[in-house]
């Protein structure tokens, strides 16, 4: 078993602050396995028919329990959030961990009912810090979902991924009350793969699929809400330059992206036209997970003249940015120099698939993702 110590410590820390900890992330990303390592006294699974029947009267089940209570797949019983608010307020010593495969936006009850009482931890797939730098290319190709990664060859991994997509579309989305036909979402998702790493034009996307721009936006919201895609919002800086103001879209798991693009081997990937976009999305997810960057505080920045950074965020009152480059030895570019000046960056990192980190200029550093840094303290974060 791969122990994910960074995530365990994060959940423990949140539990010391909040009476309820919400662990959210895509299905099959390892939430249940991870939380069971914490040794909670009570565990309930809303996909277990026995537990589901018991929770027809949830107050009688939960009210007199002592210790830590885990409720898995809570999005299937969203009314539980209202009960948890009552239980938390009446029994402040009690602790709850709720697991969900849908975002707060898709299951809005948690943010409404438990405001100030719940702290969230996003759990994605494996990080490079979990599996080690020597396994970087396997993680990139097969994806970070634990079962996909742990299979010993890419063919079997993609067979698992294909069935994962089918289950998500045919079972999980309808369980959330989403009535869009599974085949429609599948075709839309496959088309979205061709926009991975690109700015989203909802009108153009809808026109190509024969739907309105509002419907296209709704479909993307569904995939965002189940952690399948990410829409990275643009950062609007005070500048005279014309700024891109539409979001960029990514398929969050590289294994899912490769499956949708029919990439079946490492050599296949290296010779593909999607190589750069694939690395960008993979490195973005890895770095944001290692740095624990909040989803709604991550941005990209781009001008219509071509200057850009792939990731921008603010921390400690300063501006930081990253570029993700599939290159042997990244160098300083004109785009990077413009970004440093226009965004008043404290530092810019260029993340590439190598083992070494080295300074490019005083404010630009190349970071080899393969060396698997689990902190960025050496860089001032």
pLDDT at 102: 80
pLDDT category at 234 given cuts 50, 70, 90 is very high
Rounded Cα gap, residues 213 and 203, in angstroms:
5
**Inter-axis angle of helices 182-192 and 213-225, to 10 degrees?**
90
Residue numbers of the domain that contains 141:
128-379
Judge if 9 and 116 occupy the same domain. Answer: yes
Residue linked to tokens 């009476």? 19
Would you state the structure tokens that stand for residue 133, as one six-digit string? Answer: 């730098």
* DSSP code at position 242: P
Q: Is the pLDDT of residue 238 over 90?
A: no
pLDDT of residue 375: 43
128-136 mean pLDDT: 91
Predicted TM-score (pTM) of the model is 0.92
Contact 104, 110 (CB under 8 A): yes
Q: What's the mean pLDDT in 136-163?
A: 94
Instruction: Examine the pLDDT at 334 and tell me if it is beyond 90.
Output: yes
Do 49 and 89 fall into the same domain? yes
Domain termination site, one of 96, 122, 148: 122
Same domain, 190 and 42: no
Q: Within this chain, do residues 89 and 137 fall inside the same structural domain, yes or no?
A: no
Phi-psi region of 43 (alpha: psi -120 to 50; beta: other; left: phi over 0): beta
Q: Using alpha carbons, select from 162, 129, 134, 133 the residue that is nearest to residue 148.
A: 162
125 touches 149 (CB < 8 A): yes
Rounded alpha-carbon distances, angstroms, from residue 195 to 27, 277, 303, 335, 364 = 23, 9, 19, 22, 29
Query: What is the rounded distance in angstroms from the CA atom of residue 380 to the CA atom of residue 349?
Result: 12
**Within this chain, do residues 345 and 225 fall inside the same structural domain, yes or no?**
yes
- Same domain for 278 and 158, yes or no, is yes
On average, the pLDDT of the chain sits at 90
For the ranges 238-247, 313-322, 368-377, the maximum mean pLDDT occurs at 313-322
pLDDT of residue 99: 93
Clarify whether residues 39 and 161 are in a common domain.
no
Number of H helices, E strands in the chain: 18, 14
Mean pLDDT confidence for 117-125: 92
* Digit-coded pLDDT (tens) for 272-329: 999 999 999 999 999 998 888 888 899 999 998 889 999 999 998 999 999 999 999 9
CATH number at residue 94: 3.40.50.300
Flag whether pLDDT at 72 surpasses 60: yes
Same domain as 139, residue 100:
no
What's the pLDDT at 166?
A: 92
371 and 229 in a common domain: yes
Give the integer Cα–Cα distance in Å for 165 and 143: 13
> How would residue 240 be classed by pLDDT, with cut points 50, 70 and 90?
low
Confidence tier at 2 by pLDDT (50, 70, 90): confident
pLDDT at residue 40 greater than cutoff 90: no
- Domain end point (choices 122, 143, 164): 122
Token pair recorded at residue 290:
């290692």
342-351 pLDDT per residue, tens: 999 999 999 9
- Verify that 23 and 170 share a domain, yes or no: no
374 falls in which pLDDT band (50, 70, 90)? very low
Q: How far is CA 239 from CA 179, 303, 341, 343, in A?
A: 43, 10, 10, 9
Q: Please identify which residue in the block is written with the tokens 């289950």.
A: 167
Q: Which range has the worst mean pLDDT, 34-43, 88-97, 102-111, 260-269?
A: 102-111
Number of domains in the chain: 2
Q: 10-19, 113-122, 147-156: which range is least confident on average? A: 113-122
How many Cα atoms are found within 13 Å in the side-chain-facing hemisphere of 358? 10
Domain boundary pick from 88, 122, 156:
122
Output the pLDDT for position 98.
94
195, 57: one domain: no
Counting every residue written for the chain, the total comes to 381
Contact present, 323 and 336 (Cβ < 8 Å): yes
Same domain, 316 and 200: yes
Give the burial class of 141: count Cβ atoms within 10 A of its Cβ; 0-12 exposed, 13-18 middle, 19 or more buried.
Answer: buried
pLDDT in tens, 163-202: 999 998 888 888 877 888 889 989 999 999 999 999 999 9
């Amino acid at each position: 078993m791969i122990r994910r110590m960074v995530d365990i410590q994060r959940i423990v820390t949140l539990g010391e602050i909040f009476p309820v900890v919400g662990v959210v992330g895509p299905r099959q990303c390892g939430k249940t396995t991870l939380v069971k390592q914490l040794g909670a006294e009570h565990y309930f699974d809303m996909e277990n028919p026995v537990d589901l029947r018991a929770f027809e009267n949830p107050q009688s089940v939960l009210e007199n329990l002592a210790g830590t209570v885990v409720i898995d797949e809570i999005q299937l019983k969203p009314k539980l959030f209202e009960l948890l608010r009552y239980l938390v307020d009446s029994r402040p010593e009690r602790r709850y961990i709720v697991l969900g495969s849908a975002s707060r936006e898709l299951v809005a009850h948690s943010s409404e009912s438990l405001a100030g009482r719940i702290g969230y931890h996003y759990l994605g797939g494996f990080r490079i810090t979990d599996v080690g730098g020597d396994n970087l290319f396997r993680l990139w190709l097969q994806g970070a979902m634990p079962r996909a990664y742990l299979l010993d060859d890419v063919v079997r991994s993609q067979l698992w991924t294909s069935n994962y997509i089918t289950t998500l579309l045919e079972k999980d989305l309808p369980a959330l009350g989403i009535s869009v036909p599974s085949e429609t979402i599948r075709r839309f998702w496959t088309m979205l793969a061709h926009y991975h790493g690109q700015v989203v034009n909802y009108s153009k996307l809808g026109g190509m699929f024969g739907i309105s721009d509002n419907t296209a936006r709704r479909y993307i919201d569904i995939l965002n809400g189940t952690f399948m895609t990410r829409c990275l919002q643009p950062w609007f800086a005070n500048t005279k330059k014309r700024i891109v103001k539409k979001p960029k879209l990514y398929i969050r798991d590289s294994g899912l992206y490769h499956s949708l693009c029919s990439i079946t081997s490492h050599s296949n990937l290296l010779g593909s036209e999607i190589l750069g976009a694939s690395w960008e999305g993979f490195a973005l997810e890895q770095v944001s997970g290692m740095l624990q960057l909040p989803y709604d505080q991550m941005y990209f920045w781009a001008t219509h003249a071509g200057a850009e950074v792939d990731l921008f965020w603010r921390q400690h009152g300063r501006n930081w940015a990253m570029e993700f480059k599939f290159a042997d030895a990244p160098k300083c570019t004109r785009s990077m120099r413009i970004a440093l000046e226009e965004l008043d960056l404290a530092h810019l990192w260029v993340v590439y698939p190598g083992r070494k980190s080295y300074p490019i200029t005083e404010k630009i550093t190349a970071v080899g993702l393969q060396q698997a840094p689990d902190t960025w303290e050496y860089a001032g974060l």
